Structure formats: structure tokens, C-alpha cells
Structure 1
Amino acid sequence: MCYFVLTHMKLKITTLLFFAFGHSIAQNLVLNSSFEAFKNCPKNKGAFHENVINWSCSNYGSTDYFNNCSKDLGFENYVGFQEPKTGNAYSGIYTFAPASYREYIQTKLVSQLAKGTKYLITFQISLSDCSSHSNNNFGVLFTSEELDSKSKNFIHFKYLKKDNIKYKYSKIENKSFYSNTQEWTKVTLEYTANGFEKFMTIGNFETNRVIKIQEVWSTAERQFTYYYIDDVSVTTLKLSKKTLSKVDKAKPLETKTIYTFNNVLFDFNKAILVNTSIEELDKLNLHLKENKNLNIEIYGHTDNVGLTKRNQELSLQRAKSVSEYLISKGLKKERIQWFGFGSSKPLVKNSSEENRAKNRRVEFKLMDKN
């Protein structure tokens, strides 16, 4: 049995993001990115597959689902204690165990990745308290088909070739080991798509013979590495044309110029800001506090997928969410207005996923007070 000391509150890290404005907007291509939607509250181990909406297991490993609704598989569970990075749930997988046993999480993306487009893949991890070891790498596997390996061991790429499944594997190797059990650690990958990617699998794809591990608990009854996972994201990665971090006093943000947020994100078809949006909005709020002579307008836009009425509503709701956040941070209501344009003002033709990603955006414009 694993014994661990529970703290009343584990500290949560705040991810520092680059505050950038350019002509792009990033939509998370991962549905149910923080595992909040599910069919049944988990009662037993291995309750992830076919229970968490839009997620599955890539092999016969018994990936776990932890949710605050569960008595035994909540924040305090059989491998430790951790609060979610966001929401009320997270997943858990073995990345190292005897006989190269492995567990994975797999999701179908909102849309197939566009060839040649660069994407940013991120997810949050936390080593479980009971793990005897930590490791220093994770793998992200993109495939053209959904994987359903009949093995409980690591996924071997030769079998994908045998089944004529297109795939591309990326290894994320950290200089230090992912050994933090108190806080969540953000894992990131920049990825250029081949154009076939419809599914994504996260886990460890190395055998016990080659995997790099580091001991963290010498008196553990058995050797294994187990990580909690939360907040999975796949977004387009664009270089910004204008960045607040590079603006000096001689070149302030211009008035009557429309800027596009790079890191203000929402879950698919929702208007609730995800946590990764906060840093960018806080920087903008600081700029407004330092320049009380400025008012601001927020503009929401969508692509042309879906009903026109719904797109109009969603764009307005998202612009309102951004505005309400700035107001909650102290911006006076009379200094801000918000508008939703739906798909009526595309930057480019909605002829490809890459173009549609450009059209899904939230913008702002600064104006001098009259």
C-alpha cells in the first residue's frame, strides 16, 4: 500500500504565456479537453475507455478516470492525491511498469490537421504520490485511424505499418525528469502536420529496456511511474506580427488598429474562457489601467461551419466573455463594448481548415476617449 501525506491544498502553477497579437486565432481541436464530460461517475479502476466523452484507450491498458463525483476515484485516489488543473476531473496513466505495460489516452480531433500547418500541442501532467520513479519524456502519436491495439504493452509502430495506418510520432524529451507531485507541469510540442492526422494518442512509447527513469521513492513496494493528465490542447501556431512584449514607449499599441488575440482560447462550441487565456488578458488589462484615456472594443468572429444564427450567438458570447473578464479585473463598464459578427467578416475564404482557423478569432481595438 502507498502512504502519502495529504496537504489541504496543493499549489497550482500559473502558466506564463507569451502575450501576442497577430492575425490569427487558435481554437482547441480537442473536444472535452479537461475530461469533464462523461457517461458514468467512475466507481472502479480503468473507467476511462468508452466512458469519457470523445476519449478512448489506444491499447488494452486500463487507463483511469478520476472525478470529484467519485468516492474512491476522486482527487484522493489509489495512487495519490491531486486536484485538477481545471474543472473536476483528470485522467491517469502508467508510463513505466513491469513487462513494459503501458496506458494511453486517445482522442479524435475536431478536424483533420492541415498539411504544412504548424500546431502547438500542450497538456498538463503531475506525477502521482505513489510512483516509485519518474521519467523525462512523453510521446504524442498522430494517426489517420483510431488505434485499438490488442496488447497491454507499449504500442509498437511496426504494427501500424502492417495495418497500413498512417502515423507520425513525436517524442517530447525534457532535460530534467518530470518528478513534481505537488504541482502541474505543462508539456508542450510544436508540430508540423502531414495532413492525414485525425487522431492523437498521448503516453510513453518506449520499452523498459530503453526508457529513462529516475527513482523518487526507494522504499516503494513495486516499481512504476504514473502520471495524472489534464487540459489537453491542439491549436494552430502562428507567428505574431505585433507583440506587446516588444512594444516600448516609443511604439505603443496604436489606436484605431484592430489586433487579434493569439492565446485567448475557448473549448469547442463554448464561450467559457480556458485558463490559458488569462495571462494575455491580464497584460491587456494592465495596459488599459496604465492608459486611462483609452476605451476598447472587443470583436468576436467564427468560421462558416454550422448554423449562421448559432455562429452569430457564439461570436457575441465569446466577445462578451472577454469583456466581462476585463470588467471583473477593474475596467469600468463605460470603457468597453463588445460585438459579435459570426462568420460575416472572414479574413480569408473558408476553403480549408487552415483558413477557417484564421477566421475563428477574437479581436480588439483601442480608441481615445472623446
Structure 2
Amino acid sequence: MMRTSFLLVPAFGLWQLAPAQSLIQRSLQSDTMPNVVPNPGFEESVRTFCGWTQDPAKFNANMGSWSSPTQTTPDHFSTKNDKECWAHPSKHSHGKQSPRSGQAMVGIKTYGKGNTPTYWHEYVQSELPEPLQAGVRYIAECWVLRSARSNEASNNIGILLSDTAIATRDCLPLYITPQVNETKLVKGGWHKVSGVFDATGTERHILIGNFYGDEVTDHERQPDGERGAYYYIDDVNVRVAPAGTALTPKPKQSVPPPPKKVVPDHTSSKTVDIHEVEPAVGTRMRLDNVQFEFDKATLLPGYEKELDKLVDVMTDYPFLRAEIEGHTDDQGSDTYNLKLSDDRAKAVVDYLVKKKIDKERLTWKGYGETKPLKPNTSEENRALNRRVEFRVVER
């Protein structure tokens, strides 16, 4: 026996029963199906912060339903803040920019370098209440606005529906092909990024950001601002598409860069650039561009470029911990060499800490003449044994 469901609906001032299926069909036909994204306008947060943070855990804890999948930090903006607060939208636009709806929005970087030569992209991620339905056609969209404080406009602002939550321990971009991607430069006012796709039934998490490298991202310099392309995000929406809605073209495949180099132990920084090395646990590199005054722990001019590369690596990988090792040749007493090597290793650590690397992530140790790379039988070998090395102990 066929069963028909009914819903109570108003008609001419009276309440009447109407078939539930017909209401669903009407919703599909008029594109009014419910949005499955939680907190789509970023209105819900534990509190509003006046300042900004470089701690993604702080953003994640405050936003609840939204988080950062990498160790970069999106920003939460709200008109609930005092207008003098950094996190009030008008602070960066002389009062000209505000959320598309409601009182809040988030901001992410989509093009340009971060605090290092690496291209940083920021993302926001949220878990849907339940997976999308297999074989069902959906619309995914969000609204974006280039911040007046950024000096670039870009394309490649995309929406990714993923079956698993993404969580990295670094600040590097995500190279995953999204279901929706904006290929045109986004300038001017609020712009809708939208696409239509068929779900596989495993999609449970939504991410927004640039899923392509900067080398394949179009960009255009703007007259004002700084630090690359930065966009506000608001009104995220994923819903069942109306019947007959056509699929949008699939975005081009996201291609990651070549993997970094895995190098042998004691590889010289004169041979391989530190930026190109995969900083796996146990990796040890000779910092051969770091030199000291004779018989002292005073760094000679020219060391900054080399050590700044270490700062870059430790910034891109904020969980990385390292030991700086000091070594000497066999000239001098054991006690003297141990102290000299220890002082030289500490001089390197002191520079890194001065560059705002947390001292808790760094240790140093002098090994004196106990770990030569070559027998101390020639001046060439002794020069090789006099060295400072960088060793990854945790990542």
C-alpha cells in the first residue's frame, strides 16, 4: 500500500494539508533547498578578538565549526568589534568594506609570499553534518571580496569537498583539485564563486582557498595595499541543485611542485640550497657558509643569508625542532675544543632566537674533535672537520 506524507501549509489564511513530496519538488525547482554548511556566515564564535593571531589553534578554538587545515592563520572579522580594532573590517578600508551579510566574515591569503620565500596560502575548513548523497547534484558557492589592504588581485579561489579532514603540520599550500574554482581575476565588490558537481557520497568536509601554486595563479597588482592577494569570505553555501541544473566545467588538475631533495648525511649547504632540502627527522646539513673568527665564537660577516634560510625552514614547519652541532679539528686540547665548539653552536642558536624562532625548539651542543668527517691528517681534512651542522630532531 502506497503511503503519502503531508505537511501543514498556510493557504488563504487557513492551514491545509499538502503532499510533502510536492514541497520538496517545488524547492528543487526554485533553488531553495537548505544549506548544509554549518555557520556559513562565520557569525558564531566563542568571542570576537580585537587583534590578530599567528596561532592557528587559537583561531580553531574560537571558531568551533571552522578551522585552519594548515599551520597558517585565517582571520575572523566582525563589526561587533570596536572600529579601532584590527579585526574590524572598516579598519582596513576607511569604512568602505564590510561583511556581505550579518556582522562577520573571515579573511584568507590566496597569492603571494608569507613570512618566508615560500608561497603561503590560507584556508578555512568545516565539517558538514553528514556526507553528501552519492549521485546527487549539488551547488557549492561562497562570496569573496578582495581586501583593500592587499596589493594583488588573484584568481584560483576554490571550494573543495573532501572525504576526510585535512590537517598538516606546515604552512605550505595544499595541492588538491577542488570541485569549484574561480578562473577569473576577482576585483571590485563582492563576487560569487560558484559551481555545480555530482557528489560521490563520501564528501564530508568543505575547504575554501587557493589549491594551485602561485606560478599558475593569475594576479594583478593593485594601486594600494601590501603582501599579496587577500580575500574576505562570507555566505558559504552547499545545497542540492534544482532539477535540470547543468554541471559546470571541472577545474584543471592541481599539480604539486617537485618533491624536495632527500640529501645524504653531512651534505654541504654550498652544494644544495637549504630551501630545497626535505627537512625529514634525522636530516643533518653542514652550514658551510657560516664562518667564525679564528679561535673565537664570533660569526664572520656573510653568515646572515645562510642562517636566514634556517629561519625560513623553521617558520614553514612550525613543529620542527633542531639541534645545532659544533665541531672542531684536533688542534688544541680536548677541553678547549669542546668549549669552542659549544660556544659556536650557541652563537648560531642565539641568532635564530633573535629572529623570533622559539628557543624551546632549539638545542645546541659542542662535540669538539670527537666526530671528525675525515682523519685530521691534512689541512684540507681539518678544514672540513671544523664545522657547524643543523640536525632535524622532530617535525
TM-score normalised to structure 1 length: 0.52
Residue 241 of structure 2 corresponds to 237
CA deviations over 1:199-256 (Å, ceiling 9, x no partner): 0100001122221111122x65x44000001000000002269xxxxxxxxxxxxxxx
Contact 2:157 2:181 in 1 (8 A): yes
* Residue 192 of structure 1, CA deviation: 1.0
Residue 202 of structure 1 corresponds to 208
Contact 1:49 1:63 in 2 (8 A): no
CA distance in 2: counterparts of 1:186 and 1:206, whole angstroms: 19
Are residues 21 and 101 of structure 1, via their aligned partners in 2, closer, same or farther at CA, if it must alter by over 3 Å? closer
Q: How many residues were matched structurally? A: 208
Q: In structure 2, give the amino acid aligned to 1:85.
A: R
Taking only the aligned residue pairs, the percentage that are identical comes to 25
TM-score normalised to structure 2 length: 0.49
Residue number among 88, 94, 118 corresponding to 1:74 in the alignment: 88
Contiguous gaps of at least 5 residues in structure 2 = 1-25, 246-395
Residue 56 of structure 1 corresponds to 67
* Residue 50 of structure 1, CA deviation: 2.2
* Residue 137 of structure 1, CA deviation: 2.2
Contiguous gaps of at least 5 residues in structure 1 = 1-18, 158-167, 242-370
Residue 44 of structure 1 corresponds to 51
* Residue 21 of structure 1, CA deviation: 6.7
Residue 160 of structure 2 corresponds to 141
* Residue 25 of structure 1, CA deviation: 5.1
Residue 125 of structure 2 corresponds to 106
SS of residue paired to 2:63: coil
Residue 276 of structure 2 corresponds to none
> Does 2:113 correspond to 1:95?
no
Q: In structure 1, give the amino acid aligned to 2:111.
A: F
Q: In structure 2, give the amino acid aligned to 1:151.
A: D
How large is the Cα RMSD of the aligned pairs? 2.4
Q: In structure 1, give the amino acid aligned to 2:66.
A: W
Question: How do 1:306-317 residues align onto structure 2 when only pairs under 5 Å count?
Answer: none
Q: In structure 1, give the amino acid aligned to 2:187.
A: S
CA distance in 2: counterparts of 1:124 and 1:199, whole angstroms: 18
Q: In structure 1, give the amino acid aligned to 2:220.
A: Q
Q: In structure 1, give the amino acid aligned to 2:140.
A: I
CA distance in 1: counterparts of 2:62 and 2:196, whole angstroms: 29
Structure label with greater radius of gyration: 2
SS of residue paired to 1:132: strand
* Residue 173 of structure 1, CA deviation: 3.0
CA distance in 2: counterparts of 1:139 and 1:208, whole angstroms: 14
CA distance in 2: counterparts of 1:44 and 1:109, whole angstroms: 29
Q: In structure 2, give the amino acid aligned to 1:53.
A: G
CA distance in 2: counterparts of 1:79 and 1:37, whole angstroms: 24
Q: Where has structure 1 moved over 6 Å in runs of 4 or more?
A: none
> Does 2:181 correspond to 1:172?
yes
* Residue 156 of structure 1, CA deviation: 3.3
Q: In structure 1, give the amino acid aligned to 2:35.
A: N
Are residues 123 and 23 of structure 1, via their aligned partners in 2, closer, same or farther at CA, if it must alter by over 3 Å? closer
Residue 352 of structure 1 corresponds to none
Contact 2:142 2:234 in 1 (8 A): yes
CA distance in 2: counterparts of 1:51 and 1:62, whole angstroms: 12
Residue number among 207, 213, 217 corresponding to 2:219 in the alignment: 213
Residue 330 of structure 1 corresponds to none
Are residues 23 and 83 of structure 1, via their aligned partners in 2, closer, same or farther at CA, if it must alter by over 3 Å? closer
CA distance in 1: counterparts of 2:35 and 2:215, whole angstroms: 36
